[in-house]
A and B are shown apart, each in its own frame.
Chain A
Amino acid sequence: MKEKPTDTDSKLWQTLDHSFQEVEPSPQFEAKVLARIASSRTGKFHFFSQWRRVLAVACIIFMGAISIHLFQDHEYRLQEQQIAGNYEFLQEMEVVENLEFLSFLEQVTPALEQAESEGLAYEDELSFGD
């Protein structure tokens, strides 16, 4: 699809005509291309650039693995601490509960003794407490 050029367009085109002389490729052009092809197939640069890529990926994987390991270790330690803390807490709770029970016993013992001495059944006295 060519548009019909206007008069100024053709004059502009004519003005551009002599601005560039055609250049010739050097006589070794084809040889240089073939050399590039050969070096791209077996070239050391290509080889090393591949290995650089492999090394970079390996480094990233290694760093990732270390990060995951450290994170998991940290999580494990936290869990351990939590378990230990819970255990201590439970132990403390047990002690508290025991103390409460003792104080309860202390409170009810005189009443029990009194009830026993008065000949009331042990169960009746307990149900009285409810």
Chain B
Amino acid sequence: MDDPDVALMLEFQKGDNKAFSALMERYQKPVMNVVYRYLQDYNAAEDLAQETFLRVYQQRNAYKPTAKFSTWLFQICVNLCLNERRFRSYRNHESLNVTYPGDDKPMVDVADQRALSGEQKMIESERAALVRKAIAELPEKERMMILLAKWEHMDYEAIAEVMNCSVLAVKSRIFRAKQILKNKLKPYFLPGEEERQVPAKGRVIV
């Protein structure tokens, strides 16, 4: 068995709880970050990440070593995220961490600002908030696929397996998501566009 995660999972299936702890140690941060980027809510992210490991524990016997452990784990995680999002949209719940039109600052400033001047900090913070908002406005599956591709560095096959759809569907959804993001974030990444005004705020970035 080449994959150490699969070996750990098989140990865990035999009843070795230390193997489960090792897997949790290894994957708690990636899982937490996927959920956090998807829901943009720290508390919900921690809750769902814990729920993911609870499901791993409960469904340990359903795991077959034919699949990569990380794929199986992210399948559980993604399903929980999609369910949570549907539940939230049903309950019309909005996270406190989401920026609203007219807000100058996001409630949680996440960009690394240690090396930036005051004005640059503001610009970076604003840019990060707009990017997060653009990602949050993507359709559910497109958003998850973009997150898995961009931050988890998954290829199309892995994403297709995690999201339980075809590779073609992944390609077309990611393409669509990129188009949406490009349209929304055009002033921030096209050459010569950085000096232009921020559309939502009307502020000139120098």
Interface residues of A (CB under 8 A from B): 1-3, 8-9, 11-16, 18-26, 29-30, 32-33, 36-37, 40
Q: What 15 new A-B contacts, CB under 8 Å, besides A29-B49, A30-B28?
A: A1-B155, A15-B131, A18-B112, A21-B111, A23-B42, A23-B45, A25-B32, A25-B46, A29-B28, A30-B21, A30-B24, A30-B25, A33-B53, A36-B50, A37-B57
Report whether B189 and A11 are in contact in the complex, using a CB–CB cutoff of 8 Å: yes
Taking the closest CB of chain B, its distance from the CB of A30, in whole angstroms, is 6
Say whether A40 contacts B54, CB under 8 Å.
yes
* Interface flag for B157 (CB, 8 Å): yes
* A21→B155 contact, CB < 8 A: no
Please report the C-alpha to C-alpha distance between residue A94 and residue B54 in the assembled complex, in whole angstroms: 81
A25:B28 contact, CB within 8 angstroms: yes
Q: How far is the CA of A19 from the CA of B28 in the complex (A)?
A: 21
Q: A18-B111, A19-B132 are in contact. Are A1 and B167 (CB under 8 A)?
A: yes
Q: Is the interface of A mostly helix, strand, loop or mixed?
A: helix
Residue of B nearest to A37 (CB): B57
Q: A6 CB to closest chain B CB, in angstroms? A: 9
Distance A106 CA – B47 CA, assembled complex (angstroms): 102
Q: Determine whether the beta carbon of B124 is less than 8 Å from that of A18.
A: yes
Interface string of B28-39 (1 = CB under 8 A from A): 110011001100
Interface size on B, residues (CB 8 A): 42
What is the CA–CA distance of A20 and B143 in the complex, to the nearest angstrom?
A: 14
Q: Decide: B181 and A20 in contact? CB cutoff 8 A.
A: no
The answer to whether A29 and B190 touch across the interface, beta carbons within 8 angstroms, is: no
A9 vs B21: C-alpha distance in the bound complex, in angstroms? Answer: 38
Give the chain A neighbours of B155 by CB distance below 8 A. 1-2
Some 18 contacts from A to B, beta carbons below 8 A apart, are A13-B150, A14-B189, A18-B128, A19-B110, A20-B33, A20-B128, A20-B132, A21-B110, A21-B112, A22-B33, A23-B36, A23-B42, A25-B28, A25-B29, A25-B49, A29-B32, A33-B24, A33-B53
Given contacts A30-B28, A33-B53, contact A20 B190 (CB under 8 A): no
B85 at the interface (CB under 8 A from A): no
User: Considering only CB atoms, which chain B residue lies closest to A10 in the complex?
Assistant: B189
B50 A33 Cβ-Cβ under 8 A:
yes
CB contacts (< 8 Å) of B58 on chain A: these are 40
Report how far A3 CA is from B157 CA in the complex, Å.
12
Q: Is the CB–CB distance between B49 and A1 below 8 Å?
A: no
Contacting pair A1 B50 (CB below 8 A): no
Q: Chain B: which residue is nearest A19 at the CB level?
A: B131
**Roughly how many angstroms separate A99 CA and B167 CA in the complex, as a whole number?**
92
The 3 A-B pairs of least Cβ separation, nearest first, read A19-B131, A21-B110, A11-B189
- Chain B's nearest CB lies how many Å from the CB of A24? 7
Q: What residues of chain A lie closer than 8 Å to B128, measured between beta carbons?
A: 18-20
In whole angstroms, how far apart are the Cα atoms of A40 and B167 in the complex? 36
What is the CB-to-nearest-CB distance from B132 to chain A, in angstroms, rounded to a whole number? 5
B-side contacts of A37, CB under 8 Å: 54, 57
Contact A36 B29 (CB under 8 A): no
A9 and B45 alpha carbons, distance in the complex (Å): 28
Contact status of A23 and B28, CB under 8 A, knowing A12-B189, A15-B189, A30-B21: no
Contacts of A15 in B (CB 8 A): 127, 131, 185, 188-189
